[in-house]
Amino acid sequence: MERKLFGTDGIRGTANRDPMTAEMALKVAVAAGSQFLNHRTNGHTTGKTVRAKRPLAVIGKDTRLSGYMLEPAMTAGFASIGMDVILVGPLPTPAVAMLTRTFRADLGIMLSASHNPFEDNGIKIFGPDGFKLSDRVEHEIERAVFDRIPPRAAPKELGRVRRLDDSHGRYIEFVKATFPRGKRLDGLKVVIDCANGAAYRVAPLVLAELGAEVIPIGIEPNGFNINDNCGAVFPRKIQAAVLEHNADIGLALDGDADRLIVADEKGAVVDGDQIIALIAKSWLQQDHLATSQVVTTVMSNLGLERYLGDLGIELIRMPVGDRYVVERMRSDGINLGGEQSGHIVMSDYGTTGDGLMAALQVLAAKVEADEPTSAVANLFTPLPQLLKNVRVAPEAMSRVLEEDSVVSAIAEAEASLGAAGRILIRKSGTEPLIRVMAEGENRSLIHDVVDGIVAAIAAVNTPRDTKAAS
């Protein structure tokens, strides 16, 4: 089905430009609220749908300036259809998911564009169970936004709004409870980069309360500096800080703290694939894995797949987006999954990626092993992998990969790599980009095949710019 609003992770765009406007935020609140209005499932007893006395929405946000615009717009939308609202302020995305379940709310909203710069913002929606919405429900909300007359509550039935003063404390205790009982972080020097984002208050407190010597950076948000040369998308800052302070480990979160990147004591980056490998190994030893399977995405390195295979663990690949990982985990009863980018999902503890919770699992493994981070968190050698993002005109996104010259270039690249590697071509769900990735044992060859495909796309699209990452 064609998407007008939703991408791979909610709705996202430039703040105060369509679709990320106050007007659209109000419409989305009305549409999403109507989808869940007065319907809650009492799954612990009858499994039947029951009518609630007061429908409720929870709204959280990160530290972007535009949050001040979107938060009241969505609040007004919910109140206009008779939904009460609890405002929790700047908090990580997984905290909003947790509080949605804690309050038995009808839905939760996180206002964040995750790792994007401050100019962008987004709307992430959680259902009553704390999970992100399915494609089907998102489609229904889109239909309601564009095609349906919005409902209005009677004057005496308008929603009430209040702020939750202890939201930070609730999340801190929730996260700490996932750290092994009887273990502490005494004697560890930990640098944490909060990306001037949603976790700038809670993350350093969690680590300090568990006994670590904490060196916090990226904890001075001003509305503009979220993810600005800091956090999980700019690991050079945490790498440098670890070396500067002679720390045992560095932890970097992104703007909404649902992803984690680690730096070891030597300043080397440990990505999401290595974190998944570490947790999988640790949980296998503890008999904590629910199944002999782990879910990742098509982006995960082939080296991870081979490492897990040697442990007797099957790697299942899903499309990019942590909600697709979660959907497969839920359907198959798998309790560990994630993405190379650092989204780590542990369904025994939460319903979505949680960077801080994943950090505690890494620290728990380090404490248990009593070895340097470099020895604990680098478990396999990644195969060479190259990714290039090709910016395309939005109107060309639907056709560029169907052009004969592009199809031929992809076929030639696949033939060149053969069974010794793989190629992944996909459209970004959040930006007008075509992502071209190749992986294999021959570094020179993967550069050649990626460059060939990028050139073919450029020839039919005349993109404004390209960016490379390896």
Query: Domain extents for the chain?
Result: 6-165, 171-376, 385-469
Share above pLDDT 90 across residues of the chain, in percent, rounded to a whole number: 84
Highest mean pLDDT: which range of 2-16, 211-225, 423-437 = 211-225
Distance between CA atoms of 186 and 175, rounded to whole angstroms?
Answer: 18
CATH number of this structure's domain 6-165: 3.40.120.10
Dihedral of alpha carbons 403, 407, 412, 413, sign: positive
**DSSP-assigned letters across all residues of 12-79:** EEETTSTTSSHHHHHHHHHHHHHHHTT-EE-TTTT--EE--SS-EEEEEE-S-TTHHHHHHHHHHHHH
Preceding peptide of 151 cis, ω within 30°: no
pLDDT tens-digit readout, 39-69: 544 444 344 555 556 899 999 999 999 999 9
114 is catalytic: yes
Selected residue with higher pLDDT from 144 and 467: 144
**How much is the pLDDT for 394?**
79
- The architecture of the domain spanning 385-469 is 2-Layer Sandwich (3.30)
Rg of the chain on CA atoms, in Å: 22
The answer, yes or no, to whether residue 467 has pLDDT greater than 50, is no
Instruction: List, for residues 112-144, the tens digit of each pLDDT value.
Output: 999 999 999 999 999 999 999 999 999 999 999
For residue 16, pLDDT over 80 is answered with yes
If one looks up domain 171-376 in CATH, what number appears? 3.40.120.10
- pLDDT band per the 50, 70, 90 thresholds, residue 462: low
List 80, 112, 114, 347, catalytic entry: 114
Q: Work out whether the CA dihedral 178, 182, 186, 187 comes out positive or negative.
A: negative
Task: Please check the confidence at residue 373 and state whether its pLDDT lies above 70.
Answer: yes
Q: CA distances (Å), 146 to each of 3, 12, 128, 265, 444, in order?
A: 12, 17, 24, 52, 49
User: Over the stretch 275-321, which tens digit does the pLDDT of each residue have?
Assistant: 999 999 999 999 999 999 999 999 999 999 999 999 999 999 999 88
Q: Tell me the C-alpha distance between 353 and 373, whole Å.
A: 22
pTM of the model as a whole: 0.89
- Residue 393 to residue 94: CA distance in whole angstroms: 33
The model's pLDDT over 66-120, given as tens digits with 9 standing for 90+, comes to 999 999 999 999 999 999 999 999 999 999 999 999 999 999 999 999 999 999 9
Asked if 263 and 249 touch (Cβ cutoff 8 Å), the reply is yes
For residues 428 and 360, the model is more confident at 360
The per-residue pLDDT for 458 is 87
Per-residue pLDDT averaged across 319-324, rounded?
89
Per-residue pLDDT, 50: 52
For residue 184, the one-letter residue type is R
Q: 102: phi > 0 → left, psi -120 to 50 → alpha, else beta; which?
A: alpha
Beta strand 161-163 pairing with 260-263: unpaired
- The beta strand positions in 372-427, using DSSP E, are 385-391, 421-427
Distance CA 238, CA 224 (A): 20
Same fold, 6-165 and 385-469: no
Task: Count other C-beta atoms under 10 Å from residue 403's C-beta.
Answer: 16
